[in-house]
Amino acid sequence: MKHPTRLIPCLCLLLGCLLALSSQAEDREQLNKLQRLIEELQKTLEQGDQAKNQLQNELMTVELKVALLNSALREAGSEISELESQQKALQEKKVIFQNGIQEQRIALSQHLNAAYKMGAQEPIKLLLNQKDPSKFSRVFGYYNYFSQSRTEQIAAYETNLTELDRVMSAIERQRIDLDGSRASLETNQDELMYHKQQRQKTLEKLNASLESDQKKLSQWERQRARLQQLLSNVERASRTMTLPDDYIPIASRKGTLNWPVAGRLLKRFGNTRTGSLRWEGWLIRSDAGTPVTTVHQGRIVFSNYLRGFGLLIIVDHGDSFMSLYAHNQELLKETGDWVETGEVLAHSGESGGLDEPALYFEIREKGQPRDPKSWLKSN
């Protein structure tokens, strides 16, 4: 019978595995709860806004369509690049096979001419032409070698012809796929241009309806209230989520974080927005489509459209810290995804009603905005 103390390490290992599995299951459940909570909150916000401003609803609809088209264009561009690369490789194979076939034709022609000159009874002629019997076996050896070489060359020639035909067929299929992808790209580009024009018209109408500073102040206050409501909910929902063992607290990297995009600062933390309302983050000028990277590792707790902020991503960094990335052209991550420092989250844009492409960036601690200047390294 085994000594009971020998079972202790096994029991500890088993317990550790069970706890790890339990932790993973709890994390999955928490992520599912977070997703459901965000979906419910999104519906609540949308329902409340529908009664307030039809123009903002139109703007959101057209900007979401633009985002989908931008995503389709990016995928089509990647597909075209891949197809062009494959076609180039096939063309190179085609040249190699054609050159090899030409060389084989010349070699076979020389073999056939030699065989023709020898006549149909070339082994007998070789035998009768040898006066020294000791050379018979060597001559027949040479003959068999050349005969086998000729057979192998013919087989290789036929193989190369078959391969060339396969490559030519593949090139034709790639050409058809490439033409289809380019046609799809052109259609999406036309549709994107149309929806951008529609967006501009809607934005002009919306701006015209907010001519007075008081109306702008009211609108921005509502937008900030929606953001605060969202942050409060996701912060509560993400408290119980576990962090990886190799997680580095964001507070330990204060002042050394990379910028989410490189660009000129249009608005700084604390700048007046209108009336008593001030900027709670940075607005950074960037070209449309610029990759937006996370300043620190963390969990995506929101990846969707939020009125006033456009396509928005929020990253929870643990210890009650979050970072926000707004006005994007396209979102590349989903709620629940874990991202590492410097990983691309989105492509910058002008969604949410901006007049020019820019990224709005915030850092929050316990729900309160902090000056990014204290967190990001000097640019």
Per-residue pLDDT tens digits for 64-93: 777 777 777 777 777 777 777 777 777 777
**Residue-averaged pLDDT of the chain:** 75
Residues of the chain above pLDDT 70, percent: 66
Residues of the chain above pLDDT 90, percent: 27
Who wins on pLDDT, 126 or 60?
A: 60
Who contacts 218 (Cβ-Cβ below 8 Å, separation ≥6)?
Answer: none
Rounded CA separation 129/138 (Å)? 13
Who wins on pLDDT, 295 or 110?
A: 295
Whether residue 283 lies inside any domain: the answer is yes
Whether residue 287 lies inside any domain: the answer is yes
131 and 150 together in one domain: yes
Please check the confidence at residue 121 and state whether its pLDDT lies above 50.
no
Q: Which two tokens stand for residue 77?
A: 């561009």
221 and 369 together in one domain: yes
Whether residue 15 lies inside any domain: the answer is no
The DSSP code sequence of 315-373 is EEEETTEEEEEEEEEEE---TT-EE-TT-EEEEEB-TTT-SS-EEEEEEEETTEEE-GG
Who wins on pLDDT, 208 or 257?
A: 257
Whether residue 193 lies inside any domain: the answer is yes
- The number of domains in the chain is 2
Whether residue 63 lies inside any domain: the answer is no
Whether residue 250 lies inside any domain: the answer is yes
Rounded CA separation 218/221 (Å)? 5
Which pLDDT score, from 0 to 100, does residue 27 have?
57
304 and 249 together in one domain: yes
User: Stretch 28-32: mean pLDDT, rounded?
Assistant: 61
- The domain boundary, picked from 181, 203, 225, lies at 203
- The domain boundary, picked from 203, 230, 252, lies at 203
3-state secondary structure of 291: strand
Please check the confidence at residue 287 and state whether its pLDDT lies above 90.
yes
Whether residue 309 lies inside any domain: the answer is yes
143 and 227 together in one domain: no
Q: Which domain, by its residues, includes 153?
A: 78-203
Please check the confidence at residue 323 and state whether its pLDDT lies above 80.
yes
Q: How far is CA 268 from CA 63, 275, 370, in A?
A: 26, 16, 11
Rounded CA separation 56/353 (Å)? 9
Confidence of residue 269 (pLDDT cuts 50, 70, 90): very high
Quote the DSSP letter at residue 134. Answer: G
Least confident range of 64-68, 88-92, 159-163, 275-279:
159-163
Please check the confidence at residue 332 and state whether its pLDDT lies above 80.
yes
Please check the confidence at residue 292 and state whether its pLDDT lies above 80.
yes
Q: Look up the CATH number of the domain holding residue 295.
A: 2.70.70.10
- The domain boundary, picked from 144, 179, 203, lies at 203
Whether residue 28 lies inside any domain: the answer is no
Which pLDDT score, from 0 to 100, does residue 21 have?
46
Backbone angles phi, psi at 241, to 5 degrees: -75, 140
Give me the amino acid identity at 76: A
User: Stretch 40-55: mean pLDDT, rounded?
Assistant: 55
Which pLDDT score, from 0 to 100, does residue 64 have?
78
User: Stretch 168-193: mean pLDDT, rounded?
Assistant: 75
Please check the confidence at residue 236 and state whether its pLDDT lies above 90.
no
144 and 190 together in one domain: yes
Confidence of residue 226 (pLDDT cuts 50, 70, 90): confident
195 and 230 together in one domain: no
126 and 238 together in one domain: no
Confidence of residue 13 (pLDDT cuts 50, 70, 90): low
> Which of the given ranges, 1-15, 114-128, 143-157, 339-353, has the highest pLDDT on average?
339-353
DSSP β-bridge partners for residue 306: 310
231 and 154 together in one domain: no
218 and 340 together in one domain: yes
176 and 233 together in one domain: no
Who wins on pLDDT, 89 or 123?
A: 89
Which pLDDT score, from 0 to 100, does residue 41 have?
55
232 and 335 together in one domain: yes
Which pLDDT score, from 0 to 100, does residue 8 have?
52
This prediction has a pTM of 0.59
Please check the confidence at residue 268 and state whether its pLDDT lies above 60.
yes
Which pLDDT score, from 0 to 100, does residue 165 have?
76
230 and 167 together in one domain: no
Please check the confidence at residue 218 and state whether its pLDDT lies above 80.
no
